[in-house]
Chains A and B, each alone.
Chain A
Amino acid sequence: MSAASSEDVIPITVEFSGGLEMLFSNQRKLDFSIAAKDESGLNSNVAFLVRYLCDNVMKDPRKDLFVLDDTVRPGILVLINDADWELEGEDKYEIQKGDNILFVSTLHGG
């Protein structure tokens, strides 16, 4: 891979927990690279990542169990490098190289 192309993508780790992995073919952890810029040429943020996951990674057609009204559905916490995304700017957080982004569905059983 040329130097130029490696600058165009950002390697990240995405994890799913709390049952969300079932929507992603039972994968709990994915290492992949995401485009550094989104459709409008802006730095890729978490909102872009969510769209990307929904359109390209998620095989399950029940999209509403992951996204609702263009953002992750209620009951899912997004954790950026082990911190609540609300501490990091929510879906406007710009993805950095090596970020770990964890999607956790809240559990209710007891």
Chain B
Amino acid sequence: MSSVDAQIVALHAQIASCETQLQRLRDQLFEAESHRDISSGAATGQTPLSLVNVAPSSHPTETSEGFSHQEKGQKVAKIWPLDKHEYRRYGRQLIMSEIGLTGQLRLRSSAVLVVGVGGLGCPAAAYLAGAGVGTIGLIDGDTVEESNLHRQILHSTERVDMAKVDSAIASLKSLNPTVKYVPYHKRLTAEIALDIFDQYDVILDCTDTPASRYLISDSCVLLEKPLVSASALRTEGQLMVLNNPPLPAGNAQGGPCYRCVFPKPPPAASVVSCGDGGILGPVVGTMGVLQALETIKIITKGIQRSSEPPSLLLFSAFSNPPFRSIRLRTRKAKCSACSAQATVTREALESGSLDYVQFCGAVSPIDALAATERVSVVEYSRLYNSSDAAMNTQPSIKEHILVDVREKVQFELGNLEGSINIPYSAICRSSATASTDPLSQPPSEDGWVAQLRNLAEDRPIYVVCRLGNDSQLAVGKMKELGLDGGGTRWIGDIRDGLRAWRKRIDPDFPEY
């Protein structure tokens, strides 16, 4: 490196350090001024007058336009720390001691990244924009679907099929046009995570897979950023503020990371998505709003100044009390990401050697049955319609038995006439093998087994579900329980389930 290059590097470093110091001085100045205000009282008419343009400019993406008011031809005007419109817009939070002028300036000079613009990300981003966070980045590779709208409040009916990021920014701009919004139209991957995260002060994990949660946490640890992580399913939600304070790996005073709390990923089979398990809008909305709240707390208090012990907030909408706070561990001494022995390094992450998707595993498509045990919806429709015709369009199945193994609540949304509902949850609980517990009763035959046994023994059983996975497992279970009469009765499933039925046979069958 030439001496000129070295000098340039050194100067850059010096400038960065001075800027940091300057920002700190500004923070202190405003704090001091607000104290003086309180002690001297507003009656004197004295207002703090700053001698410098106070628009904080430490952040590279900060826009400072509109913050300086010097009218021509007049004596130097007072320069207020906030623009006129900002006093009005943020007035209701400015007058609270928890925010105040210092807090508002910190919000304005901060940059927050929202990863995932769905049920969590929408409400979180809305409240952050409303509060006046200076820069909000949004990452998501998906487009808006109709089934998102009951909970993803930034999107709208006319924006179905639009990129979620663009749809969200359209809403956010109408909410608060003074915020700078940065779109990233892609799914977060290890290749891009560090470069993007580096430009932000706080990261919000609003994603929906274990793989992304580990990637986000690792990136936050490496870049020393606080992470506000939430998740939700059905009627429950969970919230954690991680890596806060965001101290370097190896510093035990730093907050725990996702790997400290969950060193190993859950088995893929135990991970349930909102699409499969369901989600209530206000439940996930509550969690997203809480993420915005925690983010505002972190920023207004000043990053690095956290003193709150790590905790996990559990929300269960149908329990009493609905909220519960759990004390969490501190940093794990052997954590693979945030301890002194960390193996999750910048190099490992960037090189792609940490395969997050593989680390978390994937559920391989269920392929439990032989081809002879399966029929397509087209094949089944012939059978279904012929039995229909045979009965003079009376919807009754005489020649075979159709078992729908979806849960009752789904069955009631729409079903094929003549089908019998036996939920998979009941089927999988039945056991043919004796319990290992000597104290338990000999297994009595479950109601549904008896029900099927009592139907004419020779009629074949067709099993159907939503997508064609549970139906295969149900067939296996029925055979295990001897319902096939040792091979005399055919039991099989309808491939790809009712989704395929709707696609290929009956487009009016309800989609959900």
Residues of A within 8 A of B (CB): 17-19, 22, 28, 55-56, 59-62, 64-65, 68, 73-77, 79, 82-84, 86-87, 102, 104-110
B213 within 8 A of A: yes
Q: Does B230 contact A (CB under 8 A)?
A: yes
Q: Which of A28, A60, A79, A104 contacts B319, CB < 8 Å?
A: A28
Task: Report which of A19, A75, A110 forms a contact with B277, defined as CB distance below 8 A.
Answer: A19
A84 and B328 form a contact (CB under 8 A): yes
- The answer to whether B325 touches A82 (Cβ under 8 A) is yes
- Chain A residues closer than 8 Å to B232, beta-carbon distance: 107, 109-110
**CB proximity to A under 8 Å, residues B230-276:** 230-234, 236-238, 261-267, 269-274
**A68-B270 Cα distance, complex, nearest whole Å:** 12
Q: Which residues of B contact A19 (CB under 8 A)?
A: 233-234, 236, 272, 277
- Give complex CA distance A101, B432 in Å: 31
What are 30 contact pairs spanning A and B, CB under 8 A?
A17-B236, A18-B238, A19-B277, A56-B437, A59-B429, A61-B431, A65-B269, A68-B267, A74-B264, A75-B262, A75-B265, A75-B270, A84-B327, A84-B329, A87-B327, A102-B326, A104-B314, A105-B266, A106-B231, A106-B238, A106-B266, A107-B233, A107-B236, A108-B208, A109-B119, A109-B233, A109-B284, A110-B120, A110-B205, A110-B207
How many positions in chain B have a CB within 8 Å of any CB in the partner chain? 55
Please measure, in the bound complex, the distance between the C-alpha atom of A84 and the C-alpha atom of B330, giving whole angstroms: 10
> Does the CB pair B326–A110 fall under 8 Å?
no
Q: Do B236 and A18 touch (CB < 8 A)?
A: yes
B436 CB-CB contact with A under 8 Å: yes
B209 A106 Cβ-Cβ under 8 A: no
Bound complex: CA A26 to CA B52 (Å):
63
Closest to B211 in A: A108
Given contacts A82-B327, A84-B327, contact A110 B319 (CB under 8 A): no
**B316 and A17 contact, CB distance less than 8 A:** yes
Q: Which residue of A lies closest to B210 (CB)?
A: A108
What 3 A-B pairs are tightest by C-beta distance, nearest first? A75-B266, A74-B264, A109-B274
Known: A74-B267, A105-B270, A108-B213. A83 touches B116 (CB 8 A): no
B324 within 8 A of A: yes
Complex Cα–Cα for A65 and B327 (A): 24
Add 15 more A-B contacts to A75-B262, A109-B273 (CB < 8 A). A17-B316, A74-B266, A75-B265, A82-B324, A82-B325, A84-B327, A86-B332, A87-B329, A105-B266, A106-B262, A107-B237, A108-B208, A108-B209, A109-B232, A110-B120
Complex Cα spacing A61 to B208, Å: 27
Residues of B close to A73: CB separation below 8 A = 266-267, 270
Q: How far is the CB of B238 from chain A (nearest CB, A)?
A: 5
Using known A-B contacts A68-B267, A77-B261, A109-B231, determine if residue A61 contacts B429 with beta carbons closer than 8 Å: yes
Indicate if B121 sits at the interface (CB-CB under 8 A). Answer: yes
Asked, given contacts A82-B325, A109-B232, whether A60 binds B428 with beta carbons under 8 Å apart, the answer is yes
Q: Is B165 interfacial (CB-CB < 8 Å)? A: no
Distance between Cα atoms of A6 and B505 in the complex (Å): 64
Q: Does B47 interact with chain A (Cβ within 8 Å)?
A: no
User: Does B370 have its Cβ within 8 Å of any Cβ on chain A?
Assistant: no
Q: What is the bound-complex CA distance between A102 and B206, given in angstroms? A: 25
- Which residue of the partner chain, among B116, B120, B269, B437, contacts A55 with CB atoms under 8 Å? B437
| Contact residues in B for A60 (Cβ distance below 8 Å) | 428-429
Contacts of B236 in A (CB 8 A): 17-19, 107
Contacts of A65 in B (CB 8 A): 267, 269-270
Residue B312, interface by CB 8 Å: yes
Asked if residues B428 and A109 are in contact (CB atoms below 8 Å), the reply is: no
Among A76, A79, A83, A109, the residue within 8 A (CB) of B208 is A109
B291 nearest CB neighbor, chain A only: A110
B270 contacts A109, C-beta separation under 8 Å:
no
- Residues of chain B within 8 A of A106, CB atoms compared: 231, 238, 262, 266
- Chain B, 276-289, contact with A by CB distance < 8 Å: what is the 0/1 string? 01010000100000
Q: Are A22 and B314 in contact (CB under 8 A)?
A: no
Interface residue B439 (Cβ < 8 Å from any Cβ of A): yes
Kindly list chain A residues whose C-beta atoms are within 8 Å of the C-beta of B270.
65, 73, 75, 105
> Smallest CB-CB separation from B270: which chain A residue?
A65
Known A-B contacts A18-B238, A61-B428, A108-B209; A74 and B263 likewise in contact (beta carbons under 8 Å): yes
Q: How far is A10 from B272 in the complex, measured between Cα atoms in Å?
A: 34
Query: Closest Cβ of chain A: how far from B199's Cβ, in Å?
Result: 22
Say yes or no: is B468 at the interface (Cβ < 8 Å to chain A): no
| Chain B contacts for A56, CB-based, 8 A | 437, 439-440
- Nearest residue in B to A82 (C-beta to C-beta)? B326
> Residue B376 at the A interface, CB < 8 A?
no
Interface pair B327/A83, CB less than 8 Å apart: yes
